[in-house]
Chain A
């Protein structure tokens, strides 16, 4: 089990540029979550998918943010255009949602995004 894999680990970009963050969930997990962590707001849920379908994107800050999950083993979070206030650590997490509702979220190592 390789765990949840996120790339890149660090991303530095200039304001106005497009940023794409990538996530590979744990094989067999059917729920995927994108969280953002900042000092001011802590850990915030941006969006989550069940069986590749977006269920709740109410946490997505604005239209500049979009997320896709084209298949069970890959998801992207895109910011276009990026702004300095988007600087944060972005976590992807997955879980096996089923009969055991207490199954925990497994987190990737996060992507630290810096927008200058």
Chain B
């Protein structure tokens, strides 16, 4: 069974600064995909970034980037130049084709960006 762990229930950062959210996972599969979703107070689940396990290059999407360490089974999210609108719950998620493409989510990290 796959598990996803986010060890930081809450984090805060000052506006314009950089913050890193941690995520680790456990799987015996070699082919899988990792995602970060954002859930603002509106409760909508919004895809932030995705990473394929077979790609060594870390994914980036504007101010969002990941540090994917496959051997360590770590998938952290870095948010640069934090903005007030980044305040949200962030979920790390794991998917493998072998599991029927279902997403397994971590517990979430509540990020607050302070002005």
Which residues of A come within 8 Å of B, CB atoms? 31, 33, 42-43, 45, 48, 50, 55-56, 89, 91, 93, 95, 97, 101-102, 104-107, 109-110, 112
User: What does the 1/0 interface line of B86-103 toward A look like (CB < 8 Å)?
Assistant: 000001000101001111
What interface size band does chain B fall in? 20 to 34
Question: What is the distance, in angstroms, from B91's C-beta to the closest C-beta of chain A?
Answer: 7
B100:A55 contact, CB within 8 angstroms: yes
Q: How many A-B residue pairs have CB under 8 A?
A: 48
Which residues of B come within 8 Å of A, CB atoms? 33, 35, 37, 42-47, 50, 52, 91, 95, 97, 100-108
Q: Complex formed: what's the CA distance from A56 to B91 in Å?
A: 23
A104:B43 contact, CB within 8 angstroms: no
Q: Which of A43, A45, A50 has the most CB of B within 10 A?
A: A43
Prevailing SS type, chain A contact patch: strand
- Which A residue sits closest to B101, measured CB to CB? A97
B45:A107 contact, CB within 8 angstroms: yes
Lowest 4 A-B CB distances belong to which pairs? A107-B45, A43-B105, A102-B33, A104-B47
